[in-house]
């Protein structure tokens, strides 16, 4: 694992955007795994800037989103379809037919989930997966007790997640209870993973993910098993890490030669 600590949120998103840009520049037809929520907003803003000002080209890129609420049509202002189009896709040149987001309205979820898994493989697998983290340690909507080998499926959201996400809806009763989500096993197959977190509210989940045992009680801890994961954190999100001095020391003394994770 690599742990990069930045002073603030904007800075950590800019650092993460450089990794996304590097992936696309070295492989123009890269497959990106994308997340929604508040955390990647400044990352997407920076990617849009890079597209407009530096010519970052998404014309051969394929994207797979992590999750979608069950029951929300694509046009709903809180659907992840809507979120992705408003905050990223409509501002860049990724072809419409290369965009994959789980369906929240299919009439056959099982068949859809199988197809989604198959489609990721047919496209060559995810080169770079972007993740946020829930305050309960979830990645995508893999809530505590999710199998660390899980695949794309329907999950029931934890009460904590419903409460956390109520800020986006008019009232808490409007937050969907179910989501369709890539599994932990699906996510772990990405070649490189970047997880972004900011704010004190994420500090316990981050401490559990990086320094806790690998446990389904914090599904982000499964990333300890992944050979190429980078955590982009701000000071607040990193504030409960016991080994923070060591991580800052590594960052300061980063060797110019390639090293293991
Ligand atoms: C969203 C997703 C979730 C969020 C997490 C954090 O696609 O997969 O795991 O990353 O709930 O959400 P924010 O960033 O809003 O705190």
> Is pLDDT of 258 > 70?
no
d(CA 137, ligand 1 centre) in Å:
10
- Provide mean pLDDT across the span 21-33: 98
Find tokens 């316990």 and name the residue.
204
Q: Does the structure show a pLDDT above 80 at 259?
A: no
Answer for the pair 139, 219: CB distance below 8 angstroms, yes or no.
yes
Backbone angles phi, psi at 180, to 5 degrees: -100, 130
Catalytic residue among 46, 51, 67, 68: 67
Q: Annotated catalytic residue: which of 46, 136, 164, 234? A: 136
pLDDT value at residue 257: 75
**Coil, strand or helix: which one is 18?**
helix
**Full set of structural domains in the chain with CATH:** 2-255 (3.40.50.1360)
Report pLDDT for 84. Answer: 98
| 192-218: burial string, b at 16+ Cβ within 10 Å, e else | bbbbbbbbeebbbbbbbbbebeeebeb
Assign 212 a pLDDT band (cuts: 50, 70, 90): very high
Token pair of 223, please?
A: 């990333």
pTM for the whole structure: 0.97
Nearest CA to ligand 1 atom 12: 37
Q: Mean of the pLDDT values across residues 82-109?
A: 97
């Amino acid at each position: 694992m690599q742990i990069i600590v930045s002073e603030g949120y904007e800075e950590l998103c800019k650092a993460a955007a450089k990794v996304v840009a590097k992936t696309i520049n070295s492989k123009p037809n890269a497959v990106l795994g994308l997340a929604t929520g508040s955390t990647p907003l400044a990352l997407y803003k920076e990617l849009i800037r890079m597209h407009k000002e530096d010519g970052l080209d998404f014309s051969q890129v394929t994207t797979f989103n992590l999750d979608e609420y069950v029951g929300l049509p694509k046009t709903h202002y809180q659907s992840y379809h809507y979120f992705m189009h408003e905050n990223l896709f409509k501002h860049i040149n990724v072809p419409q037919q290369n965009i994959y987001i789980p369906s929240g309205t299919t009439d056959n979820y099982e068949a859809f989930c199988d197809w989604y898994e198959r489609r990721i493989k047919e496209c060559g697998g995810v080169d770079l997966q972007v993740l946020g983290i829930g305050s309960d340690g979830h990645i995508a909507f893999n809530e505590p007790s999710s199998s660390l080998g899980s695949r794309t499926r329907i999950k029931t959201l934890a009460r904590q997640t419903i409460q956390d996400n109520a800020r986006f809806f008019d009232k808490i009763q409007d937050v969907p209870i179910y989501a369709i989500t890539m599994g932990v096993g699906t996510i772990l197959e990405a070649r490189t993973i970047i997880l972004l977190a900011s704010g004190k509210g994420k500090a316990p989940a981050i401490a559990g993910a990086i320094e806790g045992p690998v446990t389904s009680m914090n599904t982000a801890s499964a990333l300890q098993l992944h050979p190429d994961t980078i955590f982009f954190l701000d000071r607040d999100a990193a504030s409960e890490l016991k080994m923070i001095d060591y991580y800052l020391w590594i960052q300061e003394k980063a060797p110019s030669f390639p090293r293991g994770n």
